[in-house]
């Protein structure tokens, strides 16, 4: 996230009680290394906007979006085809769940025992085979613009909630977890569209966390106080900042100046009370809880997401990490080793973390008010070894396939224990109740209290309907 930029001042400081060196030192503090003012500005800026906050129809107050970067093979996870030819059905077999008539893959055994909380949408479809632009569909519900300027993107759901004034607590209203490993160069991840606030502007971008929460040295830099700054020094610097702000306001008494002062004030309060820092301290969780999610990057990221929504963050996106294993397909992008990686590397980790999240939210009384959405940007080809993109597929892999795939919802007003839509006998295209990404996102917005006809204004003050999709009423409890 970019650091806060301070404009250069051309005026003198009236009645300047501090030396120029002290003032330069204050400017060099960068708010003790923080970039919080921009994050905090979202909340107060949102309150000044004309957009309504949303109705009372939405049961969910928060959303955890589990994004399986790379595109999971739907016919090997949620929508198996045991009667199809071998090159279609693959190597895995379906198992019964705790809901009669619903079967999922044998390598999701924990989720099979929790299917009564899940709504499987087996008919999601669009036409984009590229990772970077297809991601935009699922994160925003809208057709991606031409790549190049991400400020032309439609805003991600978290940015919309931020714009609408959600998240009145101390923490930022929109957090995005994209943990990386040493040497990881996630080119398509970094370039994927729809991750940020797009045309809503940078004030509503997420706090992006690239640190790995499974490591012993995990910390979120924007919320850490430098080791050499005691509470006494913090208070002293706060007083210095207050005095400077008073002098600036005497020269330039504008609403913008007052707003900036408030953001810095709140940032100091966050550091002083430790409210924000404690949210990112996973060592406060019992070992049994951390073990339950899985002592790996994805599992601990999902646990971090739960801690954040528990403390009032409206939306946290958890992107699947690149685990850094050489000579294997990264993320869920199984162009080769599809069955080996799904069985050994991908599905067990996802099964454990998603199941732990469902149990944890339920035990804490949070599931009814927390929407969980598990999805990738597309699925994989019906036939093993089939080519459908420039990347192609090996003899043991599946290529990109947006024609049909499965997204899963739980909690937050969703009625579990059901399957919506169906795919044809080869899992290639929807055979009933096709769902466009805009409809999936509209349903998520509905659960969160954002109506389908909600308008927001872009940088040129043009009103744009943020969703426009059809809410899938049968998914709602």
- Domain carrying residue 173: 56-215+294-475
d(CA 211, CA 95): 36
Burial of 448 (0-12, 13-18, 19+ CB in 10 A): buried
pLDDT of res. 222: 57
pLDDT of res. 227: 52
CA quadruple 319, 180, 136, 422: dihedral sign: negative
Do 268 and 397 fall into the same domain?
A: no
Q: State percent of the chain over pLDDT 70.
A: 73
Comparing 2-6, 68-72, 304-308, 328-332, the range with the smallest average pLDDT is 2-6
User: Which of 433, 428, 474, 401 is CA-nearest to residue 130?
Assistant: 401
User: Which of 253, 302, 252, 304 is CA-nearest to residue 283?
Assistant: 304
Average pLDDT estimate for 292-296: 97
Q: Which two tokens stand for residue 167?
A: 């998240």
Do 162 and 99 fall into the same domain?
A: yes
Do 171 and 318 fall into the same domain?
A: yes
The answer to the question of residue 240 being in a domain is: yes
d(CA 249, CA 231): 26
Do 136 and 169 fall into the same domain?
A: yes
Residue with tokens 């795919």: 423
Do 233 and 382 fall into the same domain?
A: no
- Contact, 372 vs 63, CB < 8 A? yes
The yes-or-no verdict on residue 307 having pLDDT over 70 is yes
d(CA 336, CA 240): 59
Reduced DSSP (H G I as helix, E B as strand, rest coil) percent helix, strand, coil of the chain, to 5: 40, 15, 50
3-state secondary structure of 445: helix
Neighbours of 160 (CB within 10 A): 29
The answer to the question of residue 208 being in a domain is: yes
pLDDT of res. 147: 74
pLDDT of res. 322: 78
d(CA 107, CA 27): 54
Per-residue confidence band for 220, with pLDDT thresholds at 50, 70 and 90: confident
The answer to the question of residue 128 being in a domain is: yes
CA distances from 370 to 354, 363, 365, 407, 447 (A): 13, 13, 10, 17, 9
Do 199 and 257 fall into the same domain?
A: no
pLDDT of res. 242: 57
Do 234 and 368 fall into the same domain?
A: no
Per-residue confidence band for 223, with pLDDT thresholds at 50, 70 and 90: low
* Structural domains in the chain (count): 2
Stretch (H or E) spanning 247:
helix 231-251
Do 82 and 38 fall into the same domain?
A: no
Residue with tokens 């003198």: 12
The answer to the question of residue 286 being in a domain is: no
User: Which of 366, 471, 475 is CA-nearest to residue 55?
Assistant: 471
Per-residue confidence band for 149, with pLDDT thresholds at 50, 70 and 90: confident
- Residue bearing the bigger pLDDT, 101 or 261: 101
Q: pLDDT tens digit string along 231-270?
A: 555 455 555 555 555 554 554 454 444 434 444 444 555 5
Model pTM score: 0.81
What is the per-residue burial (b if ≥16 Cβ within 10 Å, else e) of 117-134?
A: bbbbbbbbbbebbbbbbb
CA distances from 309 to 49, 169, 361, 366, 368 (A): 24, 11, 10, 9, 13
The answer to the question of residue 9 being in a domain is: no
Per-residue confidence band for 230, with pLDDT thresholds at 50, 70 and 90: low
Per-residue confidence band for 28, with pLDDT thresholds at 50, 70 and 90: very low
The yes-or-no verdict on residue 129 having pLDDT over 60 is yes
d(CA 161, CA 213): 25
Do 38 and 177 fall into the same domain?
A: no
CA distances from 165 to 128, 172, 313, 392 (A): 32, 11, 12, 44
Do 247 and 331 fall into the same domain?
A: no
Do 244 and 160 fall into the same domain?
A: no
Q: Which two tokens stand for residue 415?
A: 């009625």
The answer to the question of residue 433 being in a domain is: yes
> What CATH number is attached to the domain comprising 433?
3.40.720.10
Do 416 and 341 fall into the same domain?
A: yes
pLDDT of res. 286: 97
The answer to the question of residue 6 being in a domain is: no
Stretch (H or E) spanning 299:
helix 297-310
Average pLDDT estimate for 157-172: 92
Average pLDDT estimate for 328-348: 90
pLDDT of res. 412: 96
d(CA 242, CA 16): 13
Query: Residue 65 forms beta bridges with which residues?
Result: 317, 373
Task: Output the CA torsion 43→56→140→347 (10° steps).
Answer: 100
The answer to the question of residue 406 being in a domain is: yes
Domain final residue, candidates 279, 304, 324: 279
Per-residue confidence band for 224, with pLDDT thresholds at 50, 70 and 90: low
- Residue bearing the bigger pLDDT, 15 or 230: 230
Per-residue confidence band for 459, with pLDDT thresholds at 50, 70 and 90: confident
Comparing 64-73, 156-165, 228-237, 359-368, the range with the smallest average pLDDT is 228-237
pLDDT of res. 228: 52
């Amino acid at each position: 996230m970019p650091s806060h930029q301070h404009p250069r001042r051309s005026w003198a400081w009236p009645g300047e009680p501090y030396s120029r060196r002290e003032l330069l030192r204050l400017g060099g503090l960068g708010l003790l290394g923080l970039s919080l003012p921009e994050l905090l500005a979202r909340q107060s800026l949102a309150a000044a906007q004309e957009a309504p906050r949303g109705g009372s129809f939405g049961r969910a107050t928060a959303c955890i979006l589990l994004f399986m970067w790379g595109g999971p093979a739907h016919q090997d996870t949620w929508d198996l085809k045991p009667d199809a030819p071998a090159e279609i059905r693959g190597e895995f077999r379906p198992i019964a769940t705790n809901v009669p008539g619903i079967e999922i893959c044998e390598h999701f055994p924990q989720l099979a025992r929790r299917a009564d909380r899940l709504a499987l949408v087996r008919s999601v479809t669009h036409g984009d085979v590229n990772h970077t632009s297809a991601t935009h569909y699922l994160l925003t519900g809208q057709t991606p613009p031409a790549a190049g300027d991400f400020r032309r993107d439609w805003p991600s759901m978290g940015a919309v909630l931020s714009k609408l004034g959600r998240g009145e607590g101390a923490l930022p209203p929109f957090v995005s977890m994209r943990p990386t490993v040493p040497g990881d160069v996630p080119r398509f991840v970094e370039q994927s569209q729809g991750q940020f606030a797009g045309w809503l502007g940078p004030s509503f971008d997420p706090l992006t966390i690239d640190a790995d929460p499974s490591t012993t040295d995990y910390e979120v830099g924007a919320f850490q106080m430098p080791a050499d700054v005691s509470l006494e020094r913090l208070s002293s610097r706060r007083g210095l900042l207050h005095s400077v702000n008073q002098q600036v306001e005497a020269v330039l008494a504008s609403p913008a100046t007052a707003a900036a002062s408030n953001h810095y004030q709140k940032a100091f309060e966050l550091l002083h009370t430790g409210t924000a820092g404690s949210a990112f301290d996973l060592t406060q969780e019992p070992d049994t809880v951390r073990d339950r999610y899985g002592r790996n990057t994805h599992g601990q990221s999902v646990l971090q997401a739960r801690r954040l929504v528990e403390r009032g963050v409206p939306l946290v996106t958890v992107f699947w990490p690149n685990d850094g294993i050489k000579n294997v397909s990264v993320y869920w992008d199984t162009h080769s080793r599809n069955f080996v990686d799904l069985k050994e590397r991908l599905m067990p980790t996802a099964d454990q973390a998603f199941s732990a999240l469902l149990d944890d939210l339920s035990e804490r009384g949070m599931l009814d008010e927390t929407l969980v959405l598990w999805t990738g940007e597309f699925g994989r080809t019906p036939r093993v070894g089939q080519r459908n993109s420039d990347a192609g597929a090996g003899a043991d892999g599946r290529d990109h396939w947006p024609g049909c795939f499965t997204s899963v919802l739980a909690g937050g007003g969703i009625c579990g224990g059901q399957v919506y839509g169906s795919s044809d006998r080869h899992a290639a295209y929807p055979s009933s109740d096709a769902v466009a990404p805009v409809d999936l996102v509209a349903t998520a917005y509905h659960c969160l209290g954002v109506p389908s006809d909600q308008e927001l204004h872009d940088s040129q003050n043009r009103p744009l309907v943020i969703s426009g999709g059809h809410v899938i009423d049968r998914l709602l409890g």
